[in-house]
Amino acid sequence: MRKTTTTPTARRLAAATIALGSCLALAVPAGTATAAPADPVKTVFFGDSYTANFGIAPVNNQDNEKGWCFQATENYPAVATRTLAGKGITLDVQSDVSCGGALVHHFWEKQELPFGAGEVPAQRDALKWDTRLVVGGLGGNTLGFASILKQCSAKLRQHPLLPGEPVDPDKPAGECREFFESGDGKAWLDDKYKQVEAQLDVVLQVMADFTPDAVLVGYPRLVPKDTTKCQTAAPGQTELPFADIPQDALPVLDQAQKRLDDIMKKVAADNDTDFVDLYDHTGGNTACDGADRGIGGLLENSKLELLGTPIPWYAHPNEKGRDLQAQYVATKIEEVLNR
């Protein structure tokens, strides 16, 4: 059972609650839920494209604007729910509001969809008075990982379908290592990390007022420790896993992701929230691990098409990676519900 705090975090929450217009008066106190693991557990999944599993077809809601969230019908929430059912643990999924492109603040604000396709409500709106469990992950888009990738890749800067802009388009992609290790680039990253930490802190505090159990899910590892593996294309591919990103910049990408993982882990611990450390468990399934890769390469075609044109994975989990996400998330949910 998670506990709330009386630290400055709690005081920030009080202010944020007013700003967000949260209906916390309707929430059930976190200490009152007593559902046993064998009972259906009312569950909400939230998150960005890594929860939605962008790149895996088919997608849900193809007949309405929510289709632009690119939420796979067989995303890891669906696979994990099925896995748990096989163990006698039934998740009564009230909603899966994961959506590609979601920023942390889209937990409490509506999200504008790409190409003027419309909007989706704040993900927080899916939480109900009887929600028992909330699972998912946010943070990568608020950090600006697409901008980091574009800062380091001339090819991605030219690609029309990848959202985001390089941090400084006047700096050559080949100099991105130096850019992010000092000066304006480092300052930009430091500011983004502070933003992610503060906003995730609010998200987890809001969840604590709605539901007794929450699981924050981190991101799978993209870059291996041995970056020489990234200089070989995956089986059947012609592009390198990280396209034209210089090899000396790959550790910078890995360090950026590791720092994000550490922040998510810290915020979870500060809020007594369970955390799934996918980064720590997927070092042998990075984008550069060939047939064992759980991450599709930046320009490797995914299973999705847009207007008849294949959409690249953009370093998102493929089916193997999705199954790894589902495995570790299901294990954590089982642990939480069997306490």
Catalytic residues: 49, 101, 141, 316
- Coil/strand/helix, residue 152: helix
**Which is nearest to 76 in space by CA: 258, 326, 331?**
326
In the numeric block, the tokens 């007594």 are attached to: 272
State both tokens at 182: 């000092």
Letter string b/e over residues 63-83, b meaning 16 or more CB atoms within 10 A of that residue's CB: eeebbbbbbbebbbbbbbbeb
Q: What residue type is assigned to position 136 of the chain? A: G
DSSP notation for 181-204: HSHHHHHHHHHHHHHHHHHHHHHH
> Which residues, other chains included, contact 213 with Cβ-Cβ below 8 Å and sequence gap of 6+?
1, 2, 33, 132, 133, 134, 274, 336, 337
